[in-house]
Amino acid sequence: MNRSIYCGCLLLCAVLALLAAGCLAPAATGPGAHTAPLPVYARGDVLAGNMTAAGYDTFDPDIAGVRALVLGFEPGSDMYVYTFVRTLPNGSYSYVFSESWEAKLARPRPVFEAYGLGKVGMMAEEYLWKV
């Protein structure tokens, strides 16, 4: 009887040690690991769609020519930073607002991607604002 209590205590201590060490937790890497999905849009992507839903709330009779421009993605906060550009007749783009913090918007990735904007072009890196 005394021996069975000793074995039971030893077994209980071993189980508690495994739990404390995290051995029974799911692996953080490998085939079964949970990772955040990659962002849909990349820096420089020019996007078309519902610009009002995306935050373009300025009265503009020519809103059909306005596009969202992705300035970057911040993985730490899971946020897109973007602004708005206008399509020019030659196919290039010009910024709607002058560069300032107020002209840059930030939205959480799930919210921004839910706008359903479609990629229609790309702005070259040398013309992109810094984030």
Question: How do the domains of the chain map onto residue ranges?
Answer: 45-127
Question: Residues 42, 73: contact at Cβ < 8 Å?
Answer: yes
- Secondary structure letter of residue 129 according to DSSP: P
Question: At 43, is the pLDDT very low, low, confident or very high (cuts 50, 70, 90)?
Answer: very high
pLDDT of residue 4: 59
**CA 91/CA 25 separation, integer angstroms:** 53
What sign does the dihedral 36-80-65-124 (CA atoms) show? Answer: negative
pLDDT of residue 19: 47
Question: Residues 69, 81: contact at Cβ < 8 Å?
Answer: no
- What backbone torsions phi and psi does residue 87 show, to the nearest 5 degrees? -80, 130
Full-model pTM: 0.73
Kindly tell me the burial class for residue 82, based on how many C-beta atoms sit within 10 Å of its own C-beta (0-12, 13-18, 19 or more): buried
Question: Residues 70, 47: contact at Cβ < 8 Å?
Answer: yes
- Average pLDDT for the chain: 83
User: Rg of the Cα trace of the chain?
Assistant: 26
Rounded mean pLDDT, 81-99: 94
pLDDT of residue 30: 56
- Secondary structure letter of residue 11 according to DSSP: H
